[in-house]
A and B are shown apart, each in its own frame.
Chain A
Amino acid sequence: MISFLKLLFRNRLAAMGAVVLSAILILAVITPILPLADPDAISTADRFKRPFSEGHLLGTDHLGRDLLSRLLWGTRLSLAVGIFAALIAASIGSAIGIIAGYFGGRTDNVIMRAVDMLMAFPYILLALAIVAALGPGLVNALIAVAAVNIPFFARNIRGVTVGLAGREFVDAARLAGMGHGRIILTELLPNVASTIVIAMSTTVGWMILETAGLSFLGLGSQPPQADLGSMLGEARSALITAPHTSIVPGVMIFLIVMSINLLGDGVRDALDPRLRSGALTRPRAVTLVDRRGNVPRADQKGLLNIQELETQFHVGPRIYRAVNRVSLHVNPGEAIGLIGESGSGKSVTALSVMGLVASPPGVITGGAVRYAGEDLLAASYDSLRAKRGQNVAYIFQDPLSTLHPLYRVGDQLIEAIQAHNRVPETQARAEAIELLKSVRIPNPESRIHNYPHEMSGGMRQRVGIAMALANDPDVIIADEPTTALDVTVQAQILSLLDDLRRERGLAIIFITHDFGVVAQLCDRVAVMYGGRIVEEGPTETILEHPAHPYTKKLMACVPELGGGKRRLEAIPGLPPVVHELPPGCAFAPRCEKATEACRAGEIPLAGTETHTVRCIDPEEELA
């Protein structure tokens, strides 16, 4: 709650709205105890007195009634009607929306078409029709305004509910024996409540305006009762001669509606979970680089050489050390596997290479990434952008979310080709077909016209690979490219990548959590844990003689086909969180062999030229 208010008041306009609105609300609440003149007391002798005249701070109207008094009593009434109408519209509309969204199918269809019909009428016409049928009066105006706003709530809440009703916790509730009514009340309602509040906060102002509109037309409050709309209506005839009679209620309506809308927008933004995680702050085009120590000197290793890379996430007071002095290099034609569990820093390492880590909160705080000797972290944005896709390309896990759903795959490929080379459309199209052929998509001439959703997962990932190949890069970084795919498709994609690197001399950094995949594709493996590389070496050596206890345990955890029914080895405990890493070995809390020395301090990567391990008591002696 406190964090919500903090977030709300960081938005200055919303804070201003809140202050103005609370002032108005307080005034409206204490109106009965204020020493005001009787709002309905007529004294024709005093008509059209200007503001600041004796005894009438805001002057008087055409019947000589005190405007200040009428304004406050009118505001009170208008606010009450508006808020009450919003409550009614929200309750009925949300109920309709939840029912339609939860039951779906025919119920949904019938209810929502009825709501559509209601929306097809211009709202003011509909409100007029309702008031005409029920007769003028404030209560009837309230009913009309509420009825007109029901569709807005119904549609909003239905949309949210449809998403929730398919969630697994609703199924779980049904299996726990809950009936429909109980599921709607205890499972769905708490989850849509925030949406209802947001929708209400943005519509109350609108409803006050609509009620004022009806009163202005003489269909709402009846004389002598004052509300803001009827005050405006009565002042209309004296607009030129006594403008203050219109301006006073007009300014009040403006203040109320403006402050409610500003506050409502603020509430909506503050309740939006994306904003809280910082997603609405637009990330920079390239990751912030703020290197504190010395930049490591170039050594002649590999085509792409990551040296002592440190990437951190600064979230509030916490610092997440996602990548902690990672060094890794890859040669042309070589495939290196980067293995680790979620949170081990493998993906952040990969994204740091081309400055793709979202900033804020990501910051590269040390190390270097050298491509053919040039330090990419020191490169300008333009030169980095020229290298993205041209020299180093990425393949991501989920091709459905990396391909644009509204463009044909061919057009997306052509765009990728033209981003780096100015070639005519026809030539680019021919190249795109050639690319689809090279990733073995059958009938590329017709497939090029497909939208991403018209392809299967395997085909989409092939398009993803074709995109990565579009500008003939030298290095491909593949981040779990087969995790979302079926086994038979995975086998095809892996063998495709293997062929490509042999044909084109591609260097591949392959990120995965699967030892089986690494064993088949990669020449070398690096194992990451808690943001650091704990072991690195040739694939065969590591698979047969893992030196780090974590590598050994992790391999034992993964069942392999052909082993029959058995009990699996488990690693007790959980992977570490990288903002409170223990000193020394991050794996020590889960390691059977851990001693005091493991927890004492930094353990270096040690071993031979090819096989290194970060452990003081490795499983295998490296000589």
Chain B
Amino acid sequence: MTALKVTDLSKTFPVGGGLFRAPKTAVRAVRPMSFEVAEGETLGIVGESGCGKSTLARMLVGLLEPTTGRIEIEGKPLDNADPAAFGKLIQYVFQDPVSSLNPRKTIRQIMEAPLKRLYGMDREERAARIREIFASVNLREDFLDRYPHEFSGGQAQRIGVARALAAAPRIIILDEPVSALDVSVQAQVLNLLADLKSEFNLTYLFISHDLAVVEAVSDRILVLYFGTVVEIGPAREVFKTPRHPYTKLLADSAPVVGRPLKAPEQKDSELPDPLNPPPGCAFVTRCPRATDRCRTAEPKLRPLGEHQLAACHHPLEG
């Protein structure tokens, strides 16, 4: 069953302009993209800074209104930006665990908000529900009357996860949930997330810049470059047999023990200018396989191999 279906979703931000002036130009942060996530699946989303990961995530939870496209959650369309309507179906776990908790509220007040606002539960129901959730994320109940600054990063991130669970969503978007944490604590949180997923039958979208972490937790991986999906496929294949040259570049750049140090590209590898995007493939300036066709025609996502799709005119062999 499909948990999340996205059709032609895009976001364009106007740039320049003022109170009485029309915007001069626009940045296409997310170009029209379509994909589906099955129930119980973890879809990893990777890409470098500025590739549109966060814009996509914010649209999916209703914090940003999409410019075009549709979002369907379990068959129900949700395309007006209203976080309250999205809240019961899809929730968000933020990158910085401490700044995602209001410093002036106790953990109990933070946990109660979704129960009160989304479900209108009374005091006893709320207390019971919070007890249940805290037990599943391994947090002690005496934390409830403390303030966020009293917690370490790992604990604060558990609280963030607990808050997302309180809304009883079907899908959780994890936006770099462990990148602010220490390595030894990272694994604790990742394992907790895996346990919760099977306990509550959740669907995850896991956004990260750390390829190894994404590979370790995902079923399928979606690679974003410059606001476009360049490749999508099963986790174990995407980095082992990348089809898009950009995916290969990513895989080759990740530091791996025992692999000699060499920069996979030595050129000036600036991202293309978002105000003045190239007409064809956005990766063309960095691509070793680029031809004239790449400079003029934008490649479309097409199936390559059994389960992989890539947007490339000259894909790599499987």
Contacts and interface: CB of A to CB of B under 8 A. Distances in A.
Nearest to A486: B48
B63 A341 contact: no
Contacts of B279: none
A514 B255 contact: yes
A563 interface: yes
A237 B85 CA distance: 71
Given A187-B102, A486-B48, A520-B260, 9 more contacts: A168-B94, A176-B113, A489-B269, A495-B263, A513-B183, A520-B256, A559-B212, A561-B239, A562-B256
Contacts of B218: 565
A560 B183 CA distance: 13
B266 A570 contact: no
A110 B255 contact: no
A412 B41 CA distance: 50
A106 interface: yes
Contacts of A190: 102, 104-105
Interface in B56-80: 58, 61-63
Interface string B216-229: 11110000000000
Contacts of B269: 458, 488-489, 492
B3 interface: no
A25 B166 CA distance: 50
Interface string A166-204: 011101111111110010001100110000000000000
B211 interface: yes
A293 interface: no
A172 B62 CA distance: 11
Contact of B102 (A191, A514, A563, A565): A191
A1 interface: no
A106 B260 CA distance: 54
Given A109-B18, A495-B263, A570 B184 contact: yes
B271 A456 contact: yes
Contacts of B104: 190-191
B146 interface: no
Contacts of A317: none
A543 interface: yes
B144 to A, nearest CB: 16
Given A486-B49, A553-B184, A562-B240, A492 B266 contact: yes
A341 B186 CA distance: 11
A567 B191 contact: yes
Given A190-B104, A561-B254, A174 B182 contact: no
Contacts of B183: 341, 513, 554, 557-558
Nearest to A457: B49
Contacts of A459: 270
A444 B218 CA distance: 42
A342 B182 contact: yes
B110 to A, nearest CB: 8
A175 B64 CA distance: 12
Interface in A568-616: 568-572, 574-575
A212 B44 CA distance: 66
Nearest to A563: B216
Interface residues of B, number: 81
Interface string B190-215: 11001000000000000001011101
Interface of B: 18-19, 48-49, 58, 61-63, 83-84, 86-87, 91-92, 94-96, 99-105, 110, 113-114, 117-118, 152, 154, 160, 163, 166-167, 182-188, 190-191, 194, 209, 211-213, 215-219, 235-236, 239-240, 249-271
Contact of A575 (B91, B118, B184): B184
Contacts of B49: 457, 486
Given A459-B270, A520-B261, A564-B235, A488 B250 contact: yes
A562 B239 CA distance: 7
For the complex of A and B, 4 pairs with smallest distance between CB atoms:
A516-B255, A177-B117, A570-B187, A486-B48
Nearest to B188: A570
A106 B267 CA distance: 42
Contacts of A113: 19
B163 A176 contact: yes
A567 B194 contact: yes
Interface residues of A, number: 70
Given A175-B92, A495-B262, A563-B212, A520 B255 contact: yes
A494 interface: yes
A175 B184 contact: no
Contact of B255 (A174, A498, A517): A517
B284 to A, nearest CB: 16
A110 B63 contact: no
Interface of A: 106, 109-110, 113, 167-169, 171-179, 182, 186-187, 190-191, 341-342, 440-442, 456-459, 486-492, 494-496, 498, 513-517, 519-521, 543, 553-554, 557-572, 574-575
A110 B19 contact: yes
A528 to B, nearest CB: 13
A569 B185 CA distance: 10
A563 B190 CA distance: 15
Given A172-B92, A569-B187, A563 B84 contact: no
Contacts of A564: 215-216, 235-236
Contact of A574 (B86, B117, B154): B154
A565 B215 contact: yes
B259 A440 contact: no
Nearest to B286: A488
B96 A168 contact: yes
A559 B216 contact: yes
A588 to B, nearest CB: 15
B200 to A, nearest CB: 17
8 contacts: A109-B18, A171-B94, A172-B92, A175-B91, A176-B117, A177-B87, A177-B167, A570-B187
Contacts of A169: 99-103
Given A168-B96, A561-B239, A570-B187, A490 B117 contact: no
Given A171-B63, A175-B92, A440-B266, A519 B257 contact: yes
A607 to B, nearest CB: 22
Contact of B253 (A176, A490, A558): A490
B87 A175 contact: yes
B216 A554 contact: no
Contact of A171 (B92, B194, B267): B92
Contact of A191 (B103, B110, B215, B253): B103
B163 to A, nearest CB: 7
A297 B265 CA distance: 47
Contact of B99 (A167, A565, A575): A167
A27 B101 CA distance: 45
Given A172-B163, A491-B253, A565 B219 contact: yes
B94 A519 contact: no
Contacts of B182: 341-342, 513, 575
Nearest to A190: B104
A177 B86 CA distance: 9
A553 B183 CA distance: 10
A492 B263 contact: yes
A488 B249 contact: yes
Nearest to A440: B266
A515 B255 CA distance: 8
A516 B270 CA distance: 24
Contacts of A553: 184
A488 to B, nearest CB: 4
A457 B50 CA distance: 11
A286 B260 CA distance: 39
Given A171-B63, A175-B92, A494-B261, A571 B184 contact: yes
B184 A560 contact: no
Contacts of B265: 488, 492
